[in-house]
Amino acid sequence: MIEKDIVLEKAKTNFNIDYLYPWQRLVIANILDADKYEKTEFDEDGADRGKQIVLLPTGAGKSLCFLIPALLLSGPTLIIYPLLALMTDQERRMQEAGINSVTFRGGQSSQERIDNLSKIHTGAKVILANPEVLQNEELINQLKQIKISHIAIDEAHCVSEWGDSFRPFYLTLGNIIEKLNVKLITAFTATASQTVLNRISEILFKGKSHIVQGDTDRENIKYSVIRSEAKNNCVLTQVIKAQKPLIVFCPTRKITEEVSIILKEHYKMVEPKKDLVRFYHAGMEKKEKDIVEKWFYPHDEGILVATCAFGMGVDKKNIRSVIHYTAPMTVESFVQEAGRAGRDGKESFSIVIWSQEDSQKRKNFLKGSRENVMYEFAESKKCRREILLEALGAKEESICSGCDICNNSAKHYAEDANMVFKFIKWNRRMYKSDETIQILHQKANKKTIEQFGAKLWTHGDFQEIITVLLKTKKLKVCKFPWKDTLSINYSTKYT
């Protein structure tokens, strides 16, 4: 095994750290031992230690697991990233650590490629690339001559998540590994269920890989679910109350921009001199994205409304809260997004907004499937952290360090819809829909002015709630002689 002192000395010198976690030592040792010895099947799984899938939570220091070996191996290390933003960020980090690196990306000129190859021949230790640029046969042949020692694949769950859909070049990585004739392969991911692990292993390692798993529990993140039928209002209220900096993840570009406008209008009234809200999604030009990133990273009060396009490239360590307008479809995506919070190890919060519509869409997924996990997470009265850890295949038992179920703060009903239901119950057959909305709008905003110093409710919020209550048959529109007034269905109750 690699000598501890050598690893520590390299880490201290180049990365300004005092220690390595046991699982970091193990991953590094596996890489360096597999480089040194022909046969490395040491454990009971019979898998080559040089072919690893490493599961680590976001912010756990996975980069050290391939950058420290890069300093010790004879040949360069090829690191494959899914996003240009991640490649750019890693370039910056390596410059700070004094590590020579080169980047291959689409759109480079022949001279840029030649310059990169020249730098590798003269000692560059790290090569950065994405799956698309590695489709170039000429580049592959040139890299083969260089004799790469180690290939590291970052965010390896993308092999499964994207390879079978809109990034098919991920499915070619196994063939690329064979062409380059590299025996040390490490696939890193923060979020992988057994289904995804099997798919990664199949594509990259022909089904046989060694699994190294760190502690998957991010103890500093507190999980909660807020039920709501007027999501825009709920997000606004939660943003006002939540610790910042903060990200609101939205499912579409359209919703992202709409939520951003709502938040901007609020903060323009209460704090007009501060630039507190911006949005980010894949439909923006690169220059626009760069401006938003440079604004958000140093901002201590910033509120970013974004699609998942921002999530994987984030390295802002002091994000205190992540609010999910809608729960992501899979547990892997959820943990990836929630894991943007608290990368500095301090207390942070993950808040999911959950509606009746969300519940209806998710409840029919097969129990035990990746898509069903988020339904269980939101609807179950069992510890939310435990549900996540079970879904991710965590072997360790964990005492919950914070979720709304375990601290008895969870409400298993939508307070906004319950408020409307109760008002109509006590005033049944008295008001039509538009009259009800007008009264509730005034009452609710009187409370928010007292609580937050601003009106937070719109007529549209109450229209949304009433529509849901009618659709779910908790309310009804009366006929003669109380024509068009609202009442409850007596066979139902809201909570």
* Residue that wins the pLDDT comparison between 113 and 322: 322
Q: Which amino acid is at 286?
A: K
CA 173 vs CA 140, 187, 252, 298, 319: distances in Å: 12, 11, 30, 36, 33
Residue 105, C-beta contacts closer than 8 angstroms, at least 6 positions apart: 84, 87, 129, 130, 133
**CB 359: neighbour CB atoms within 10 A?**
13
Percent of the chain clearing pLDDT 70 (strictly above): 87
pLDDT at 451: 93
**CB 486: neighbour CB atoms within 10 A?**
25
For 36-45, b/e burial (b = at least 16 CB within 10 A) is eeeebebeee
Q: Which two tokens stand for residue 348?
A: 């942070």
Mean pLDDT of 355-372: 86
Give the largest CA-CA distance in the chain: 90
Mean pLDDT of 241-267: 96
> What is the distance between the alpha carbons of residues 70 and 28, in angstroms, rounded to a whole number?
10
**CB 2: neighbour CB atoms within 10 A?**
18
Mean pLDDT of 178-195: 83
pLDDT at 432: 95
Confidence of residue 149 (pLDDT cuts 50, 70, 90): very high
> What is the distance between the alpha carbons of residues 233 and 252, in angstroms, rounded to a whole number?
18
Residue with tokens 């060694």: 210
Confidence of residue 108 (pLDDT cuts 50, 70, 90): confident
Burial of 430 (0-12, 13-18, 19+ CB in 10 A): middle
Dihedral sign computed on CA atoms, order 336, 206, 194, 152: negative
pTM of the prediction? 0.75
Mean pLDDT of 298-318: 84
> What is the distance between the alpha carbons of residues 465 and 231, in angstroms, rounded to a whole number?
10
**Residue 328 phi, psi (nearest 5):** -60, 160
Confirm if 238 and 423 have CB atoms less than 8 A apart: no
Mean pLDDT of 112-127: 90
**Residue 397 pLDDT exceeds 50:** yes
> What is the distance between the alpha carbons of residues 332 and 356, in angstroms, rounded to a whole number?
23
pLDDT at 1: 42
Number of residues that make up the chain: 495
> What is the distance between the alpha carbons of residues 346 and 348, in angstroms, rounded to a whole number?
6
**Residue 360 pLDDT exceeds 80:** yes
Edge to edge, the sheet with strand 101-103 lists 101-103, 126-129, 77-80, 150-153, 184-189, 51-55, 210-213
Domains along the chain?
A: 4-213 (3.40.50.300), 221-391 (3.40.50.300), 415-488 (1.10.10)
Confidence of residue 2 (pLDDT cuts 50, 70, 90): very low
Residue 372, C-beta contacts closer than 8 angstroms, at least 6 positions apart: 362, 365, 366
Using the 8-state DSSP alphabet, how is residue 284 labeled? S
Mean pLDDT of 320-343: 89
Burial of 217 (0-12, 13-18, 19+ CB in 10 A): buried
pLDDT at 232: 97
pLDDT at 4: 47
> What is the distance between the alpha carbons of residues 172 and 203, in angstroms, rounded to a whole number?
8
**Residue 91 pLDDT exceeds 50:** yes
**Residue 43 pLDDT exceeds 60:** no
181: left (phi over 0), alpha (psi -120 to 50) or beta: left
What is the overall mean pLDDT for the chain? 86
**Residue 377 pLDDT exceeds 90:** yes
Closest alpha carbon to 250 in 304, 288, 302, 318: 304
Helix ranges (H only) for 122-230 are 137-146, 158-161, 173-180, 194-205
> What is the distance between the alpha carbons of residues 90 and 77, in angstroms, rounded to a whole number?
13
